[in-house]
Amino acid sequence: MAACGKLLGLLALLAAGAADVSVLNTCMDGKHHKTEPGKEDELHGQCSPWKENACCTNSTSHAAHDDQSYLYNFNWNHCGIMSPACKRHFIQDTCLYECSPNLGPWINKVDQTWRKERILDVPLCKEDCEQWWNDCRNDMTCKENWHVGWDWSQGYNQCPHTSKCQLWESVFPSPQDLCEKIWSNSYKYTTFTRGSKRCIQMWFNATQGNPNVEVAKYYANAGAGLSPWMLLVLLFPALLAALP
Ligand SMILES: *[C@@H]1O[C@H](CO)[C@@H](O)[C@H](O)[C@H]1NC(C)=O
Ligand SMILES: *[C@@H]1O[C@H](CO)[C@@H](O)[C@H](O)[C@H]1NC(C)=O
């Protein structure tokens, strides 16, 4: 009986390893995501790199470029008008979040009214994070975590009375502070560079395909820790013991 239990345990581990494939090419259960990724010929502007395979619709891709769009009513201009150089990074961030089918390894369940899943610790390429921070350096903001703590009484986010507008650098002293804190650890700062296959690119040239496909594969396997083959080798004694 004990041996049989071990065999079941082995099978469960193998299943866990195999199940990891399901995190590849998938859409999170968010507010606007499609249920399955697929081709979207009409994706707009900065979201167009995802048109071969996307979790966003044409309509979402348009809204990603608008101020206080119907997506989240989010007001980028809460401390004066956000500069276009800075805003383009927030548009790209929205495109990645809404359109990418390669964030599976970092999807986590959440208990929130507006979504059932979120991303956590997505390893962002160094350049994407640093250029974002550099281009926003002369902008102002009043908050470090843009997910929570706003005054939504007017239907869009405004600075709460307890916070004042400050230069970007006072709120986010480094690129790492920006990328990790702004969306409560949705991103993780890395020193991996674009093209390294070890970090997710917010910006990419789609004429060479989507580089994040490989990155998701790498982390999906790393997440499994042990390959099914390694498990078989390690658990071979248990397997033998289970045989009559
Ligand atoms: C794409 O979405 C925009 C904005 O919602 C809309 O004006 C346009 O007609 C749509 N295009 C297609 C091909 O559906
Ligand atoms: C994308 O790559 C292609 C081919 O390498 C190049 O011709 C094009 O200018 C690039 N586009 C951008 C926006 O960098």
Kindly list the distances between the CA atom of residue 189 and the CA atoms of 71, 73, 122, in Å, as whole numbers in the listed order.
26, 27, 8
Q: Whose C-alpha lies nearest to ligand 1, atom 2?
A: 59
pLDDT value of residue 226: 55
Q: How far is the CA of 98 from the centre of ligand 1 (A)?
A: 17
Q: How far is the CA of 59 from the centre of ligand 1 (A)?
A: 6
DSSP state letters, the chain: -HHHHHHHHHHHHHHHHHHGGGGSS---S-SS--SS-B--TT--GGGGGGTTSBSS-HHHHHHTTSTT-TTT---TTBTBPPPHHHHHHHHHHHHHHHH-S--GGGEEE---SS-SEEE--EEE-HHHHHHHHHHHTT-EES-S-SSS--B-TTSS-B--TT---EEHHHH-SSHHHHHHHTTTTSEEE-S--TTSSSSB-SS--GGG--THHHHHHHHHHHHH-S-HHHHHHHTHHHHHHH--
Low-confidence ranges of the chain (pLDDT < 70): 1-21, 223-234, 239, 244
- Token pair, residue 38, equals 């697929």
Q: Which of 114, 100, 37, 35 is nearest to 72 (CA)?
A: 114
pLDDT value of residue 110: 87
Global pTM?
0.84
Q: Whose C-alpha lies nearest to ligand 1, atom 14?
A: 58
Q: With contact defined as beta carbons under 8 Å apart, do 114 and 71 qualify?
A: no
Q: Whose C-alpha lies nearest to ligand 1, atom 4?
A: 59
How many Å is the Cα radius of gyration of the chain? Answer: 21
Q: How far is the CA of 109 from the centre of ligand 1 (A)?
A: 31
pLDDT value of residue 190: 98
- Token pair, residue 153, equals 């009484």
Q: Which of 39, 30, 137, 157 is nearest to 94 (CA)?
A: 30
**Pocket mutation for ligand 1, best pick of 42, 65, 70 (most atoms within 8 Å of C-beta):** 42
- Domain tally for the chain? 1
- Which atom of ligand 1 has the smallest separation from the CA of 61? 2
pLDDT value of residue 85: 98
pLDDT value of residue 224: 53
Q: Which domain holds residue 207?
A: 2-242
pLDDT value of residue 19: 46
**Pocket mutation for ligand 1, best pick of 59, 60, 65, 66 (most atoms within 8 Å of C-beta):** 59
Q: Is the CB of 206 under 6 A from ligand 2?
A: no
